[in-house]
A and B are shown apart, each in its own frame.
Chain A
C-alpha cells in the first residue's frame, strides 16, 4: 500500500513537471513570464505570497485582454529556497522555456545564483529579494523591487534626526540580516549627524539580552536605541526593554514589520517605532496619499481571493509584475533589449512598496521615503505623521 502511494505520488510529480515543461512549447502567441520562487522550504513565507500574487494578477490581466493583445503566461518553478536549484531553474527558463522576462528570486541567495546566467542570456530580470548587492553595482539586465536595508537605516536615522537625537545606542543580532543592518547603520549615521555611542550584539538564538541593554542604558548621553534584526530576537529585546523599564525612545527595523511581531512582543512593543511598507497601514492612510488606491486595491484583491492577510512580500511580486507589464507596454513588444531600456526609464510608477524611479544608475528605484515610520499604539500600527 505504502509503495503504491509513493509511486502514485512520484507519478503525479513527474506528470506535473512534464505539463509545466511542455506547456510553453505549445503556446507561441503569448507573453511568457518566467519565475522561480521559494514557495516551499525555509523561505516559504516569502515565496508563497509571491506566487499567489503573480497568479492572481496574471489571471486578472488576462481577463482584461492581456498585454498588447497577448495573453500572459506564467512559467513557474519552486526553488525551495535552494540557490543551486534556483540556478538550474533559471537555466531552464532561459534555454528551454525561452521566457520573455523573469520576475522571481525570493531570496538573495537564489537571485545571485541566477544572475550570471541571466546576464549572459540577456533577459530582463526583476528580483524580489532585498540585499543591496543585487543592484549595486548596477547589472545591465537585473532590477529589483524591495528596498535594501540601507534605505531602512536611512529612514530610521532621518526620523531620529527630526526628533533631534544625536547620540544613539545600537543593538543587533549577529545573523546575516542583523550584521548587515549594523554595518549600513554605522555607515549612514554620520550623514545624519548621529553618533553611535553604544554598539552591542547578541546571538539570534539568545533568550536574554538584558545585560547588553543595561550596558547601552548606562552609556552617557544615549537618546534612543535601535534594534536591527529580524525573527524572534527583536521580540526578546523588546520584552527585555520593557522589563528593564527603559524610558528612552526605541526603534526596530523593517525586519519585524509584521503582525506576528506584535503578537510575540505583546505590551512591551507599545510606543516603539519602525520603518515599514505603507501596506501595513493601508486602511489608515489619508485618501489623498498617492499610494492609497494601489495599496487598498491590492489588499482587497488578495484577501478576497485567498482568504488570508496580505504580506509585504507578496507586494514585491505585485510591483515586479506591474513594472514588467508597464515596460512591455512602453517597449511595444517583448524585444528584450527594448523592454530592458523601458524598465530603466520607468519614472514614477506607483506600486505597493513605493513609487519607482528607475535610472541607469539605480535599478531599484525606491528612496528611503518609501518606508513609512509607524508607531505601535494600543497593540496596533499607527502612522506617525
Chain B
C-alpha cells in the first residue's frame, strides 16, 4: 500500500511542480499592477511551441530554447506597449479583460501560423524516471522543482535587494506617489510584462516534455496556475509554489483514493474554501485598504 501512496504523491508532485512554475509567472505582473495577466498561459505556449517550431526549422535545441524564450519576452513587451499602455487610466478589471482578449489573440495567431498539432519535447535528462520505494518519479519533475526554487530565490532577491524590484513594489503600492519619486512607472510595468513572459516561456519549455505542447496548452495550464497562485496568495512567490504543490497533491490523491471522476472538482473546492476562510491566500499580504 505504501508504494501506492508514494506513486500518488509523486504524481501529485509532478502535477504540482508544473502548476507552481506556472503560478510564479503571475506574481510579477500582479505585484507591479494588481493585474492578473490571463495571457500568462499563452507565454507558456510561446515558449513550448516556439521551441518546437524552431527545432523543426533546423535550429539545435540549445539555441531554440533561448530564442523561443526571448520571443516570448518580446511578445510580453509588445502586449504591454500595444494593449495595456494605451489603456493606462483604465481600472484593473478593464486591464484584466484586455489580457483575456490578448490571450485569445495570441492563441489564434499560433493556431494559424504554427498549426494545431500536439508536439513533444525531449526530456532534459537521459534517464526518464527513477524508482523510489516501488514508485516512479519523472526526472523532469525534479528539473521543474529545481528551476522553480531557483526562480523563487531570484524573485525574492529581486524584490528585496534591487532598486528596480523596490521600484516595482512601490509602483504597485501607489502609482502616483511612485512617479512623484522619479520612478518611470510605465517602464516598470513594461519590464514586469517582459520578465513575466520570460518566466512563463521558460516554464512552458520545462513542462513540455511532460505535458506535451500545442497552441491551446495555455488555457488549462494558465487556469491551473492561476488557481495555484490564488491559493498561495497572489503576489507571493513562495505562496505560488505552495499553492501549486497543494493543488497537484490534492488532485492526485483524489484521483487515486476517491475517484478520477471527481478529480476536476478539486481545484474549485479548494479555491472556494480558500476564498472563504483565507481571502488573501495562504501567504498573501494582508492588504489594507487606504482611504
Report the separation of the CA atoms of residues A244 and B253 in the bound assembly, to the nearest whole angstrom: 17
The reply to whether B119 and A211 contact each other, CB–CB distance below 8 Å, is no
Q: Which of A42, A218, A266 contacts B116 (CB 8 A)?
A: A42
Query: Is B7 close to A, CB under 8 A?
Result: yes
Q: Which of B18, B256, B260 contacts A207 (CB 8 A)?
A: B18
B7 / chain A contacts, CB cutoff of 8 Å: 210-211, 214, 244
Q: Could you mark each residue 201-244 of chain A with 1 if its beta carbon is under 8 Å from any beta carbon of chain B, else 0?
A: 11101011011101100100000000000011001100000111
The reply to whether B260 and A212 contact each other, CB–CB distance below 8 Å, is yes
Query: Is B211 close to A, CB under 8 A?
Result: yes
Report the separation of the CA atoms of residues A37 and B128 in the bound assembly, to the nearest whole angstrom: 42
Q: Which of A212, A215, A243, A264 contacts B129 (CB 8 A)?
A: A243
Q: Could you mark each residue 6-25 of chain B with 1 if its beta carbon is under 8 Å from any beta carbon of chain A, else 0?
A: 01101110110010000000
From known contacts A201-B260, A214-B256, infer whether A266 and B4 are also in contact, taking CB-CB under 8 Å. no
- Nearest residue (CB) in A for B7 is A214
The reply to whether B120 and A214 contact each other, CB–CB distance below 8 Å, is no
The reply to whether A201 and B138 contact each other, CB–CB distance below 8 Å, is no
Query: Is B136 close to A, CB under 8 A?
Result: yes
A7 / chain B contacts, CB cutoff of 8 Å: none
Report the separation of the CA atoms of residues A186 and B256 in the bound assembly, to the nearest whole angstrom: 22
The reply to whether B8 and A208 contact each other, CB–CB distance below 8 Å, is no
From known contacts A201-B260, A214-B4, infer whether A208 and B11 are also in contact, taking CB-CB under 8 Å. yes
A203 / chain B contacts, CB cutoff of 8 Å: 263-264
* Chain B facing A: main interface SS: helix
Smallest CB separation, B34 vs chain A (Å): 29
B11 / chain A contacts, CB cutoff of 8 Å: 208, 210-211, 214
The reply to whether A264 and B212 contact each other, CB–CB distance below 8 Å, is yes
Report the separation of the CA atoms of residues A260 and B117 in the bound assembly, to the nearest whole angstrom: 9
Number of A-B contacts (CB under 8 A): 80
Query: Is A286 close to B, CB under 8 A?
Result: no
Query: Is A200 close to B, CB under 8 A?
Result: yes
B8 / chain A contacts, CB cutoff of 8 Å: 211, 214
Q: Which of A42, A200, A218 contacts B4 (CB 8 A)?
A: A218
The reply to whether A211 and B255 contact each other, CB–CB distance below 8 Å, is yes
Query: Is A263 close to B, CB under 8 A?
Result: yes
Query: Is B118 close to A, CB under 8 A?
Result: yes
The reply to whether A207 and B211 contact each other, CB–CB distance below 8 Å, is yes
Report the separation of the CA atoms of residues A328 and B94 in the bound assembly, to the nearest whole angstrom: 61
Smallest CB separation, A313 vs chain B (Å): 15
Report the separation of the CA atoms of residues A242 and B127 in the bound assembly, to the nearest whole angstrom: 13
The reply to whether B118 and A235 contact each other, CB–CB distance below 8 Å, is yes
Query: Is B196 close to A, CB under 8 A?
Result: no
Q: Could you mark each residue 239-268 of chain A with 1 if its beta carbon is under 8 Å from any beta carbon of chain B, else 0?
A: 000111100000000000000100110100
Q: Which of B15, B118, B119, B136 contacts A243 (CB 8 A)?
A: B136
Smallest CB separation, A376 vs chain B (Å): 16
Report the separation of the CA atoms of residues A245 and B129 in the bound assembly, to the nearest whole angstrom: 10
The reply to whether A266 and B263 contact each other, CB–CB distance below 8 Å, is no
The reply to whether B210 and A211 contact each other, CB–CB distance below 8 Å, is no
The reply to whether A244 and B136 contact each other, CB–CB distance below 8 Å, is yes
Smallest CB separation, B33 vs chain A (Å): 29
Smallest CB separation, A149 vs chain B (Å): 21
The reply to whether B136 and A207 contact each other, CB–CB distance below 8 Å, is no
Query: Is B91 close to A, CB under 8 A?
Result: no
B119 / chain A contacts, CB cutoff of 8 Å: 264
The reply to whether A215 and B256 contact each other, CB–CB distance below 8 Å, is yes
Query: Is B57 close to A, CB under 8 A?
Result: no
B12 / chain A contacts, CB cutoff of 8 Å: 211
Q: Which of A212, A235, A242, A244 contacts B212 (CB 8 A)?
A: A235
Interface residues of A in 45-61 (CB under 8 A from B): 45
- Excluding A210-B7, A218-B4, A264-B212, 11 further A-B contacts by CB distance (< 8 Å) are A174-B261, A200-B255, A207-B211, A208-B252, A210-B11, A211-B252, A214-B4, A215-B255, A236-B212, A260-B117, A264-B118
Interface, chain A (partner B; CB < 8 A): 42, 45, 174, 200-203, 205, 207-208, 210-212, 214-215, 218, 231-232, 235-236, 242-245, 260, 263-264, 266
Jot down 26 A-B pairs with beta carbons below 8 A, ordered by A.
Answer: A42-B116, A200-B255, A202-B255, A202-B263, A203-B263, A203-B264, A205-B219, A205-B220, A207-B18, A207-B207, A207-B211, A207-B220, A210-B10, A210-B14, A210-B252, A211-B8, A211-B11, A211-B12, A214-B4, A214-B256, A215-B255, A218-B4, A236-B212, A243-B129, A245-B131, A264-B119
Interface, chain B (partner A; CB < 8 A): 4, 7-8, 10-12, 14-15, 18, 116-120, 128-129, 131, 136, 138, 207, 210-212, 214, 219-221, 252-253, 255-256, 260-261, 263-264
4 tightest Cβ-Cβ pairs between the two chains A and B:
A211-B255, A207-B211, A211-B256, A205-B220
